[in-house]
Protein backbone atom coordinates (compact mmCIF):
# COMPACT_ATOMS: atom_id res chain seq x y z
CA UNK A 1 0.00 0.00 0.00
CA UNK A 2 1.27 3.48 -0.90
CA UNK A 3 0.11 6.96 0.09
CA UNK A 4 -0.07 9.70 -2.57
CA UNK A 5 -0.40 13.33 -1.49
CA UNK A 6 -1.15 16.33 -3.71
CA UNK A 7 -0.72 19.70 -2.01
CA UNK A 8 -2.44 22.14 -4.39
CA UNK A 9 -3.60 25.74 -4.26
CA UNK A 10 -7.14 25.03 -3.09
CA UNK A 11 -6.40 22.05 -0.86
CA UNK A 12 -4.60 18.81 -0.18
CA UNK A 13 -5.74 15.46 -1.57
CA UNK A 14 -4.61 12.05 -0.36
CA UNK A 15 -5.18 8.57 -1.74
CA UNK A 16 -4.19 5.03 -0.85
CA UNK A 17 -2.97 2.87 -3.74
CA UNK A 18 -2.64 -0.90 -3.81
CA UNK A 19 0.26 -1.14 -6.25
CA UNK A 20 -0.23 -4.87 -6.81
CA UNK A 21 -3.83 -4.62 -8.01
CA UNK A 22 -3.53 -1.06 -9.33
CA UNK A 23 -6.65 -0.05 -7.38
CA UNK A 24 -7.17 3.15 -5.40
CA UNK A 25 -8.67 1.99 -2.13
CA UNK A 26 -9.49 5.29 -0.43
CA UNK A 27 -9.19 9.06 -0.70
CA UNK A 28 -9.36 12.14 1.50
CA UNK A 29 -9.08 15.91 1.20
CA UNK A 30 -8.77 19.13 3.17
CA UNK A 31 -8.97 22.75 2.01
CA UNK A 32 -6.44 25.61 2.12
CA UNK A 33 -6.93 29.36 2.45
CA UNK A 34 -5.38 31.73 -0.12
CA UNK A 35 -4.23 35.18 1.00
CA UNK A 36 -4.56 37.62 -1.90
CA UNK A 37 -3.71 41.25 -2.53
CA UNK A 38 -4.67 43.64 -5.32
CA UNK A 39 -0.97 43.97 -6.19
CA UNK A 40 -0.85 40.34 -7.31
CA UNK A 41 0.10 38.83 -3.95
CA UNK A 42 -0.93 35.19 -3.59
CA UNK A 43 0.40 33.50 -0.46
CA UNK A 44 -0.33 30.62 1.92
CA UNK A 45 0.83 29.59 5.36
CA UNK A 46 2.81 26.32 5.11
CA UNK A 47 1.37 25.23 8.47
CA UNK A 48 -1.98 24.91 6.65
CA UNK A 49 -0.41 22.33 4.35
CA UNK A 50 0.74 20.27 7.32
CA UNK A 51 -2.68 20.37 8.96
CA UNK A 52 -4.37 19.48 5.65
CA UNK A 53 -1.84 16.66 5.06
CA UNK A 54 -2.81 15.08 8.38
CA UNK A 55 -6.57 15.51 7.85
CA UNK A 56 -6.53 14.18 4.27
CA UNK A 57 -4.31 11.23 5.22
CA UNK A 58 -6.53 10.12 8.08
CA UNK A 59 -9.60 10.35 5.82
CA UNK A 60 -7.90 8.36 3.05
CA UNK A 61 -6.86 5.59 5.46
CA UNK A 62 -10.36 5.48 6.95
CA UNK A 63 -12.11 5.21 3.58
CA UNK A 64 -9.59 2.58 2.46
CA UNK A 65 -10.35 0.60 5.59
CA UNK A 66 -6.68 -0.14 6.28
CA UNK A 67 -4.17 0.56 9.01
CA UNK A 68 -1.46 3.14 8.40
CA UNK A 69 1.02 0.41 9.37
CA UNK A 70 0.41 -1.09 5.92
CA UNK A 71 1.79 1.96 4.10
CA UNK A 72 5.23 1.15 2.64
CA UNK A 73 5.89 4.46 0.90
CA UNK A 74 4.71 8.07 0.61
CA UNK A 75 4.90 10.28 -2.47
CA UNK A 76 4.26 14.02 -2.38
CA UNK A 77 3.10 16.23 -5.25
CA UNK A 78 3.21 19.99 -4.74
CA UNK A 79 2.18 23.15 -6.52
CA UNK A 80 5.15 24.31 -8.57
CA UNK A 81 7.20 27.52 -8.22
CA UNK A 82 6.21 28.35 -4.61
CA UNK A 83 8.91 29.71 -2.28
CA UNK A 84 9.31 28.36 1.26
CA UNK A 85 12.16 29.91 3.25
CA UNK A 86 13.54 28.31 6.44
CA UNK A 87 16.09 29.49 9.00
CA UNK A 88 18.83 27.38 10.60
CA UNK A 89 16.33 25.81 13.01
CA UNK A 90 13.99 24.81 10.18
CA UNK A 91 11.43 27.50 11.08
CA UNK A 92 9.39 28.99 8.23
CA UNK A 93 10.42 32.65 7.86
CA UNK A 94 7.30 34.00 6.13
CA UNK A 95 4.20 32.88 4.20
CA UNK A 96 4.96 30.99 0.99
CA UNK A 97 4.63 32.99 -2.21
CA UNK A 98 2.80 30.77 -4.71
CA UNK A 99 2.95 30.00 -8.43
CA UNK A 100 0.11 32.45 -9.06
CA UNK A 101 1.80 35.32 -7.19
CA UNK A 102 2.65 38.14 -9.60
CA UNK A 103 3.81 40.70 -7.02
CA UNK A 104 7.40 40.05 -8.08
CA UNK A 105 6.80 40.96 -11.75
CA UNK A 106 9.20 43.98 -11.56
CA UNK A 107 11.93 41.74 -10.15
CA UNK A 108 11.30 39.20 -12.92
CA UNK A 109 11.81 41.94 -15.52
CA UNK A 110 15.12 42.93 -13.93
CA UNK A 111 16.33 39.32 -13.89
CA UNK A 112 15.15 38.75 -17.45
CA UNK A 113 17.09 41.82 -18.58
CA UNK A 114 20.16 40.46 -16.80
CA UNK A 115 19.81 37.18 -18.71
CA UNK A 116 19.49 38.96 -22.06
CA UNK A 117 15.72 38.83 -22.42
CA UNK A 118 13.67 35.76 -23.27
CA UNK A 119 16.19 34.60 -25.88
CA UNK A 120 19.05 34.86 -23.39
CA UNK A 121 17.07 33.05 -20.72
CA UNK A 122 16.20 30.23 -23.14
CA UNK A 123 19.83 29.91 -24.19
CA UNK A 124 21.16 29.83 -20.63
CA UNK A 125 18.45 27.96 -18.69
CA UNK A 126 16.35 26.25 -21.36
CA UNK A 127 13.29 28.18 -20.08
CA UNK A 128 12.25 31.82 -20.24
CA UNK A 129 11.66 32.91 -16.67
CA UNK A 130 8.19 34.36 -16.11
CA UNK A 131 6.35 36.08 -13.26
CA UNK A 132 5.41 33.37 -10.81
CA UNK A 133 8.69 31.44 -11.10
CA UNK A 134 10.61 31.08 -7.85
CA UNK A 135 13.67 33.12 -8.79
CA UNK A 136 11.95 36.53 -8.81
CA UNK A 137 10.45 35.79 -5.39
CA UNK A 138 13.97 35.57 -3.96
CA UNK A 139 14.90 39.00 -5.31
CA UNK A 140 11.57 40.37 -4.06
CA UNK A 141 12.32 39.00 -0.56
CA UNK A 142 15.76 40.61 -0.52
CA UNK A 143 14.29 43.98 -1.49
CA UNK A 144 11.19 43.91 0.75
CA UNK A 145 12.30 41.82 3.74
CA UNK A 146 16.08 42.22 4.09
CA UNK A 147 16.00 41.17 7.76
CA UNK A 148 14.34 37.85 6.89
CA UNK A 149 16.53 37.42 3.82
CA UNK A 150 19.61 37.55 6.06
CA UNK A 151 18.29 34.54 8.01
CA UNK A 152 17.70 32.22 5.02
CA UNK A 153 19.25 28.79 5.54
CA UNK A 154 17.08 26.64 3.24
CA UNK A 155 15.31 27.50 -0.03
CA UNK A 156 12.55 24.95 -0.68
CA UNK A 157 9.61 24.41 -2.99
CA UNK A 158 6.24 23.38 -1.46
CA UNK A 159 6.74 19.65 -2.07
CA UNK A 160 10.35 19.91 -0.84
CA UNK A 161 9.07 21.45 2.39
CA UNK A 162 6.57 18.64 2.95
CA UNK A 163 9.35 16.10 2.38
CA UNK A 164 11.51 18.02 4.88
CA UNK A 165 8.69 17.89 7.44
CA UNK A 166 8.26 14.17 6.87
CA UNK A 167 11.95 13.20 6.96
CA UNK A 168 14.01 16.07 8.36
CA UNK A 169 16.03 16.14 5.11
CA UNK A 170 16.09 19.15 2.77
CA UNK A 171 16.48 18.10 -0.86
CA UNK A 172 14.85 18.54 -4.28
CA UNK A 173 14.39 16.58 -7.53
CA UNK A 174 14.89 17.61 -11.12
CA UNK A 175 11.27 18.04 -12.20
CA UNK A 176 10.14 20.54 -9.58
CA UNK A 177 13.59 22.20 -9.51
CA UNK A 178 13.35 22.96 -13.23
CA UNK A 179 10.49 25.38 -12.51
CA UNK A 180 12.51 27.61 -10.20
CA UNK A 181 14.20 29.78 -12.83
CA UNK A 182 17.66 29.12 -11.36
CA UNK A 183 18.08 25.66 -12.90
CA UNK A 184 19.52 24.59 -16.28
CA UNK A 185 17.10 22.02 -17.71
CA UNK A 186 19.63 20.70 -20.22
CA UNK A 187 22.41 19.88 -17.74
CA UNK A 188 20.01 19.33 -14.77
CA UNK A 189 22.05 21.59 -12.48
CA UNK A 190 21.38 24.68 -10.37
CA UNK A 191 22.45 27.97 -11.98
CA UNK A 192 24.45 29.17 -8.99
CA UNK A 193 25.78 32.26 -10.77
CA UNK A 194 22.23 33.62 -11.16
CA UNK A 195 21.70 33.31 -7.40
CA UNK A 196 24.99 35.14 -6.85
CA UNK A 197 23.64 37.97 -9.00
CA UNK A 198 20.76 38.29 -6.53
CA UNK A 199 23.05 38.01 -3.50
CA UNK A 200 26.83 38.05 -4.06
CA UNK A 201 27.46 36.85 -0.49
CA UNK A 202 26.75 33.27 -1.55
CA UNK A 203 23.98 32.85 1.02
CA UNK A 204 21.49 31.60 -1.56
CA UNK A 205 23.97 29.10 -2.99
CA UNK A 206 24.53 27.65 0.45
CA UNK A 207 20.76 27.41 1.00
CA UNK A 208 20.16 25.29 -2.11
CA UNK A 209 19.00 21.71 -1.45
CA UNK A 210 20.92 18.80 -3.01
CA UNK A 211 19.25 17.23 -6.05
CA UNK A 212 17.84 13.70 -6.31
CA UNK A 213 16.99 11.48 -9.25
CA UNK A 214 13.25 10.86 -9.55
CA UNK A 215 13.51 7.21 -8.46
CA UNK A 216 15.61 8.00 -5.37
CA UNK A 217 13.89 8.24 -1.99
CA UNK A 218 14.40 11.16 0.36
CA UNK A 219 14.52 8.83 3.37
CA UNK A 220 12.32 7.24 6.02
CA UNK A 221 9.54 9.10 7.76
CA UNK A 222 10.51 10.60 11.14
CA UNK A 223 9.17 8.54 14.07
CA UNK A 224 7.22 11.44 15.62
CA UNK A 225 5.55 12.28 12.28
CA UNK A 226 4.70 8.61 11.73
CA UNK A 227 2.96 8.57 15.13
CA UNK A 228 1.18 11.86 14.38
CA UNK A 229 -0.16 10.57 11.05
CA UNK A 230 -0.75 7.01 12.17
CA UNK A 231 1.65 5.62 9.58
CA UNK A 232 4.23 2.85 9.41
CA UNK A 233 7.47 4.23 10.97
CA UNK A 234 9.44 2.30 8.33
CA UNK A 235 7.61 4.00 5.43
CA UNK A 236 9.91 5.45 2.76
CA UNK A 237 9.35 8.99 1.46
CA UNK A 238 9.85 9.21 -2.31
CA UNK A 239 11.51 12.11 -4.13
CA UNK A 240 8.07 13.43 -5.14
CA UNK A 241 7.76 16.31 -7.56
CA UNK A 242 5.72 19.19 -8.90
CA UNK A 243 2.00 18.70 -9.49
CA UNK A 244 2.40 18.67 -13.27
CA UNK A 245 5.23 16.12 -13.11
CA UNK A 246 3.18 13.88 -10.83
CA UNK A 247 0.12 14.41 -13.03
CA UNK A 248 2.15 13.10 -15.97
CA UNK A 249 2.97 9.90 -14.09
CA UNK A 250 -0.63 9.63 -12.92
CA UNK A 251 -1.84 9.64 -16.53
CA UNK A 252 0.87 7.30 -17.82
CA UNK A 253 2.46 10.20 -19.71
CA UNK A 254 6.00 8.80 -19.45
CA UNK A 255 6.68 8.13 -23.15
CA UNK A 256 6.53 10.35 -26.26
CA UNK A 257 3.11 10.62 -27.92
CA UNK A 258 0.80 11.50 -25.05
CA UNK A 259 -0.60 14.90 -24.07
CA UNK A 260 -2.12 15.61 -20.67
CA UNK A 261 -4.38 18.59 -20.02
CA UNK A 262 -5.25 19.61 -16.46
CA UNK A 263 -8.31 21.72 -15.67
CA UNK A 264 -7.62 22.98 -12.16
CA UNK A 265 -7.17 26.40 -10.54
CA UNK A 266 -4.77 26.93 -13.42
CA UNK A 267 -4.78 25.17 -16.77
CA UNK A 268 -1.81 23.12 -17.87
CA UNK A 269 -0.92 21.14 -20.96
CA UNK A 270 2.17 18.97 -21.25
CA UNK A 271 3.79 16.14 -23.19
CA UNK A 272 6.70 13.79 -22.43
CA UNK A 273 9.99 14.05 -24.33
CA UNK A 274 13.06 11.83 -23.99
CA UNK A 275 15.36 14.74 -24.79
CA UNK A 276 15.40 18.46 -23.85
CA UNK A 277 13.41 19.89 -26.78
CA UNK A 278 13.80 23.57 -25.90
CA UNK A 279 11.12 25.40 -27.85
CA UNK A 280 11.82 28.69 -29.64
CA UNK A 281 8.50 29.85 -28.16
CA UNK A 282 9.28 31.42 -24.81
CA UNK A 283 5.90 30.49 -23.35
CA UNK A 284 6.66 26.76 -23.68
CA UNK A 285 8.53 25.69 -20.55
CA UNK A 286 10.72 22.66 -21.21
CA UNK A 287 10.79 21.37 -17.64
CA UNK A 288 12.33 18.09 -16.57
CA UNK A 289 9.89 15.29 -15.83
CA UNK A 290 9.85 13.30 -12.57
CA UNK A 291 10.24 10.09 -14.55
CA UNK A 292 13.68 10.57 -16.05
CA UNK A 293 12.92 12.69 -19.12
CA UNK A 294 11.57 16.13 -19.96
CA UNK A 295 8.09 17.64 -19.91
CA UNK A 296 7.46 20.55 -22.34
CA UNK A 297 4.58 22.43 -20.73
CA UNK A 298 2.38 25.48 -20.98
CA UNK A 299 0.44 26.92 -18.04
CA UNK A 300 -2.43 29.39 -17.97
CA UNK A 301 -2.95 31.29 -14.71
CA UNK A 302 -6.74 31.46 -14.90
CA UNK A 303 -9.03 28.47 -15.20
CA UNK A 304 -11.40 27.33 -12.45
CA UNK A 305 -10.15 30.32 -10.47
CA UNK A 306 -11.92 32.43 -13.14
CA UNK A 307 -15.05 30.30 -13.53
CA UNK A 308 -15.34 30.20 -9.73
CA UNK A 309 -15.54 33.99 -9.62
CA UNK A 310 -18.50 33.94 -12.03
CA UNK A 311 -20.16 31.21 -9.96
CA UNK A 312 -19.80 33.36 -6.85
CA UNK A 313 -21.12 36.43 -8.65
CA UNK A 314 -24.21 34.59 -9.88
CA UNK A 315 -24.55 32.52 -6.67
CA UNK A 316 -24.88 29.22 -8.53
CA UNK A 317 -23.49 25.77 -7.76
CA UNK A 318 -21.48 23.68 -10.24
CA UNK A 319 -24.52 21.86 -11.59
CA UNK A 320 -26.43 25.06 -12.25
CA UNK A 321 -23.31 26.67 -13.74
CA UNK A 322 -23.01 23.80 -16.23
CA UNK A 323 -26.69 24.05 -17.10
CA UNK A 324 -26.31 27.76 -17.87
CA UNK A 325 -23.28 27.09 -20.10
CA UNK A 326 -25.35 24.62 -22.13
CA UNK A 327 -28.21 27.10 -22.49
CA UNK A 328 -26.01 29.65 -24.29
CA UNK A 329 -24.89 29.23 -27.91
CA UNK A 330 -21.26 28.93 -29.01
CA UNK A 331 -19.78 32.41 -28.96
CA UNK A 332 -22.21 33.55 -26.22
CA UNK A 333 -24.04 35.79 -28.72
CA UNK A 334 -20.95 37.95 -29.15
CA UNK A 335 -19.93 38.12 -25.48
CA UNK A 336 -16.18 37.46 -25.21
CA UNK A 337 -14.33 37.23 -21.92
CA UNK A 338 -10.59 37.70 -21.56
CA UNK A 339 -10.35 36.03 -18.14
CA UNK A 340 -7.00 37.44 -17.02
CA UNK A 341 -8.06 38.12 -13.44
CA UNK A 342 -4.52 37.56 -12.16
CA UNK A 343 -2.56 38.56 -15.24
CA UNK A 344 -1.65 35.68 -17.55
CA UNK A 345 1.34 33.52 -18.42
CA UNK A 346 -0.04 31.98 -21.64
CA UNK A 347 -0.67 34.21 -23.52
CA UNK A 348 2.18 36.21 -21.95
CA UNK A 349 0.22 39.10 -20.41
CA UNK A 350 1.41 39.42 -16.77
CA UNK A 351 0.05 42.96 -16.39
CA UNK A 352 -3.31 42.37 -18.05
CA UNK A 353 -6.62 42.31 -16.22
CA UNK A 354 -9.86 40.54 -17.05
CA UNK A 355 -12.36 42.17 -19.37
CA UNK A 356 -15.69 41.45 -21.02
CA UNK A 357 -15.98 42.46 -24.68
CA UNK A 358 -18.90 42.79 -27.06
CA UNK A 359 -21.66 43.57 -24.54
CA UNK A 360 -24.95 44.93 -25.86
CA UNK A 361 -28.48 45.28 -24.59
CA UNK A 362 -29.44 41.73 -25.49
CA UNK A 363 -26.47 39.45 -24.79
CA UNK A 364 -25.59 40.24 -21.16
CA UNK A 365 -27.35 37.23 -19.70
CA UNK A 366 -26.41 34.76 -16.98
CA UNK A 367 -26.09 31.94 -19.50
CA UNK A 368 -23.89 33.93 -21.87
CA UNK A 369 -21.67 35.09 -19.01
CA UNK A 370 -21.12 31.48 -17.89
CA UNK A 371 -20.34 30.32 -21.41
CA UNK A 372 -18.04 33.30 -22.04
CA UNK A 373 -15.83 32.47 -19.04
CA UNK A 374 -15.62 28.78 -20.00
CA UNK A 375 -14.77 29.66 -23.60
CA UNK A 376 -12.25 32.34 -22.59
CA UNK A 377 -10.33 30.04 -20.26
CA UNK A 378 -10.43 27.20 -22.81
CA UNK A 379 -9.10 29.47 -25.54
CA UNK A 380 -6.01 30.09 -23.37
CA UNK A 381 -5.35 26.35 -23.40
CA UNK A 382 -5.94 26.21 -27.16
CA UNK A 383 -3.38 29.02 -27.52
CA UNK A 384 -0.93 26.87 -25.58
CA UNK A 385 -1.74 23.75 -27.61
CA UNK A 386 -0.96 25.68 -30.78
CA UNK A 387 2.46 26.56 -29.30
CA UNK A 388 3.19 22.92 -28.37
CA UNK A 389 2.18 21.75 -31.84
CA UNK A 390 4.36 24.43 -33.42
CA UNK A 391 7.24 23.06 -31.31
CA UNK A 392 6.85 19.64 -32.91
CA UNK A 393 4.78 17.85 -30.28
CA UNK A 394 1.80 15.94 -31.64
CA UNK A 395 -0.83 13.67 -30.16
CA UNK A 396 -3.94 11.99 -31.45
CA UNK A 397 -5.77 12.24 -28.11
CA UNK A 398 -5.74 14.29 -24.93
CA UNK A 399 -5.96 12.84 -21.43
CA UNK A 400 -8.00 15.26 -19.33
CA UNK A 401 -7.56 15.58 -15.57
CA UNK A 402 -8.39 18.03 -12.78
CA UNK A 403 -11.59 19.03 -11.06
CA UNK A 404 -13.34 20.51 -14.12
CA UNK A 405 -12.63 17.33 -16.12
CA UNK A 406 -15.48 15.69 -14.20
CA UNK A 407 -17.98 17.90 -16.05
CA UNK A 408 -19.38 16.51 -19.35
CA UNK A 409 -20.04 20.09 -20.45
CA UNK A 410 -16.39 21.09 -19.97
CA UNK A 411 -15.20 17.93 -21.72
CA UNK A 412 -17.27 18.64 -24.83
CA UNK A 413 -16.20 22.29 -24.96
CA UNK A 414 -12.52 21.29 -24.70
CA UNK A 415 -12.81 18.53 -27.34
CA UNK A 416 -14.56 20.90 -29.78
CA UNK A 417 -12.20 23.86 -29.24
CA UNK A 418 -9.08 21.68 -29.54
CA UNK A 419 -10.55 19.64 -32.41
CA UNK A 420 -9.12 16.55 -30.68
CA UNK A 421 -10.68 13.50 -28.99
CA UNK A 422 -10.16 13.24 -25.25
CA UNK A 423 -10.61 10.80 -22.40
CA UNK A 424 -10.24 10.98 -18.62
CA UNK A 425 -8.40 8.49 -16.44
CA UNK A 426 -10.58 6.81 -13.83
CA UNK A 427 -8.86 8.96 -11.24
CA UNK A 428 -8.88 12.55 -12.49
CA UNK A 429 -6.87 13.69 -9.44
CA UNK A 430 -3.85 12.34 -11.26
CA UNK A 431 -1.18 14.21 -9.26
CA UNK A 432 -1.95 12.28 -6.06
CA UNK A 433 -2.09 9.02 -8.02
CA UNK A 434 1.21 9.82 -9.72
CA UNK A 435 2.78 10.53 -6.34
CA UNK A 436 1.63 7.14 -5.03
CA UNK A 437 2.94 5.38 -8.17
CA UNK A 438 6.28 7.15 -7.81
CA UNK A 439 6.44 6.06 -4.15
CA UNK A 440 6.01 2.43 -5.23
CA UNK A 441 8.71 2.97 -7.89
CA UNK A 442 11.14 4.36 -5.30
CA UNK A 443 10.59 1.41 -2.96
CA UNK A 444 10.86 -1.35 -5.57
CA UNK A 445 14.32 -2.84 -6.11
CA UNK A 446 15.63 -3.58 -9.59
CA UNK A 447 17.97 -2.49 -12.35
CA UNK A 448 15.64 -1.45 -15.21
CA UNK A 449 14.00 1.52 -13.52
CA UNK A 450 12.14 2.81 -16.58
CA UNK A 451 10.59 -0.59 -17.31
CA UNK A 452 9.45 -0.80 -13.68
CA UNK A 453 7.76 2.60 -13.88
CA UNK A 454 6.08 1.69 -17.18
CA UNK A 455 4.72 -1.52 -15.65
CA UNK A 456 3.37 0.38 -12.62
CA UNK A 457 1.65 2.95 -14.83
CA UNK A 458 0.14 0.24 -17.03
CA UNK A 459 -1.28 -1.46 -13.95
CA UNK A 460 -2.41 1.60 -11.99
CA UNK A 461 -3.57 4.10 -14.67
CA UNK A 462 -6.91 3.09 -16.16
CA UNK A 463 -8.99 5.11 -18.57
CA UNK A 464 -12.68 5.79 -18.02
CA UNK A 465 -14.36 4.72 -21.27
CA UNK A 466 -17.53 6.63 -20.33
CA UNK A 467 -15.62 9.93 -20.67
CA UNK A 468 -14.45 9.39 -24.27
CA UNK A 469 -15.44 12.63 -26.02
CA UNK A 470 -15.23 13.25 -29.75
CA UNK A 471 -15.11 16.74 -31.28
CA UNK A 472 -17.97 17.71 -33.53
CA UNK A 473 -16.58 19.20 -36.79
CA UNK A 474 -19.42 21.72 -37.11
CA UNK A 475 -18.94 22.99 -33.56
CA UNK A 476 -15.15 23.05 -34.01
CA UNK A 477 -15.60 25.33 -37.03
CA UNK A 478 -17.87 27.65 -35.02
CA UNK A 479 -15.37 27.81 -32.16
CA UNK A 480 -12.57 28.52 -34.59
CA UNK A 481 -14.20 31.80 -35.60
CA UNK A 482 -14.63 32.85 -31.97
CA UNK A 483 -11.06 31.77 -31.18
CA UNK A 484 -9.67 33.97 -33.95
CA UNK A 485 -11.55 36.91 -32.40
CA UNK A 486 -9.93 35.98 -29.06
CA UNK A 487 -6.49 35.99 -30.75
CA UNK A 488 -7.16 39.46 -32.17
CA UNK A 489 -8.08 40.81 -28.74
CA UNK A 490 -4.98 39.19 -27.21
CA UNK A 491 -2.82 40.92 -29.81
CA UNK A 492 -4.35 44.27 -28.88
CA UNK A 493 -3.72 43.59 -25.19
CA UNK A 494 -0.09 42.69 -25.89
CA UNK A 495 0.34 46.19 -27.31
CA UNK A 496 -1.52 47.82 -24.41
CA UNK A 497 -1.94 45.47 -21.38
CA UNK A 498 -4.24 47.88 -19.56
CA UNK A 499 -6.61 48.38 -22.51
Q: List pLDDT tens digits, range 273-332.
A: 989 989 888 999 999 999 999 999 999 999 999 999 999 999 999 999 999 999 999 999
Domains of the chain: total: 2
Q: What is the pLDDT of residue 495?
A: 85
From 185, 215, 243, give the residue that closes a domain. Answer: 243
Do 272 and 155 reside in the same domain of the chain? no
Q: What is the pLDDT of residue 172?
A: 98
Domain assignment present for residue 208? The answer is: yes
Give dist(CA 400, CA 441) in Å, integer: 24
Q: Is the pLDDT of residue 498 over 80?
A: no
User: Angle, to 10 degrees, between the axis of helix 449-460 and the axis of helix 430-443?
Assistant: 140
Domain assignment present for residue 435? The answer is: no
**Is-above-0.85 flag for pTM?**
yes
From 243, 274, 292, give the residue that closes a domain. Answer: 243
- List the catalytic residue out of 176, 191, 243, 416: 243
pLDDT grade, residue 342 (50/70/90)?
confident
Catalytic residue check, 243: yes
Do 209 and 269 reside in the same domain of the chain? no
Domain assignment present for residue 390? The answer is: yes
Domain assignment present for residue 98? The answer is: yes
Do 197 and 303 reside in the same domain of the chain? no
Give dist(CA 337, CA 356) in Å, integer: 5
Do 322 and 279 reside in the same domain of the chain? yes
By residue range, what is the domain housing residue 353?
252-428+462-499
Do 257 and 231 reside in the same domain of the chain? no
Give dist(CA 67, CA 15) in Å, integer: 13
Domain assignment present for residue 274? The answer is: yes
Chain segment 43-65, per-residue pLDDT in tens: 999 999 999 999 999 999 999 99
Do 261 and 238 reside in the same domain of the chain? no
In degrees, to the nearest 5, what angle opens at C-alpha 488 toward C-alphas 486 and 489? 65
Sign (positive/negative) of CA torsion 136, 198, 162, 42?
Answer: negative
Do 218 and 262 reside in the same domain of the chain? no
Domain assignment present for residue 112? The answer is: yes
Do 275 and 376 reside in the same domain of the chain? yes
Domain assignment present for residue 455? The answer is: no
Beta strands 219-220; 267-271: pairing state: unpaired
Do 420 and 479 reside in the same domain of the chain? yes
Chain segment 405-463, per-residue pLDDT in tens: 999 999 999 999 999 999 999 987 899 999 999 999 999 877 788 999 999 999 999 99
Give dist(CA 377, CA 321) in Å, integer: 15
Chain segment 219-239, per-residue pLDDT in tens: 999 999 999 999 999 999 999
Do 199 and 286 reside in the same domain of the chain? no
Domain assignment present for residue 326? The answer is: yes
Give dist(CA 132, CA 14) in Å, integer: 26
From 243, 267, 285, give the residue that closes a domain. Answer: 243
**Average pLDDT rounded to a whole number, residues 156-184:** 98
Residue 319 neighbours by CB distance under 10 Å? 9
Q: Which of 99, 96, 100 has its CA nearest to residue 86?
A: 96
Q: Is the pLDDT of residue 394 over 80?
A: no
Do 229 and 270 reside in the same domain of the chain? no
- List the CATH number of the domain containing 37: 3.30.420.40
Q: Is the pLDDT of residue 499 over 70?
A: no
Give dist(CA 379, CA 486) in Å, integer: 7
Sign (positive/negative) of CA torsion 61, 66, 70, 72?
Answer: negative
Do 395 and 485 reside in the same domain of the chain? yes
Amino acid sequence: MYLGIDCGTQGTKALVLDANSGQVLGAGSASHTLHSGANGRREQQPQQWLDAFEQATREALATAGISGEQILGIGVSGQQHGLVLLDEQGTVLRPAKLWCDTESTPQNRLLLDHLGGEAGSLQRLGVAIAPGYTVSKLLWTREHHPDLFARIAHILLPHDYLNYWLTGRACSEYGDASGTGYFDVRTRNWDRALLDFIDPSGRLQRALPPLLEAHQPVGRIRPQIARQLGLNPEAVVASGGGDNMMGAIGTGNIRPGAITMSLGTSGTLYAYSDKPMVSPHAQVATFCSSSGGWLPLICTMNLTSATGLVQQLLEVDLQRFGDLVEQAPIGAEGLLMLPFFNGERVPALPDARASLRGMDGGNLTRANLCRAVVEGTSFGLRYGLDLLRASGLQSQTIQLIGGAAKSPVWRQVIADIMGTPLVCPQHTEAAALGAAIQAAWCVMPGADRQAQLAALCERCVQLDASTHTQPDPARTAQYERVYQRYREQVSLLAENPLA
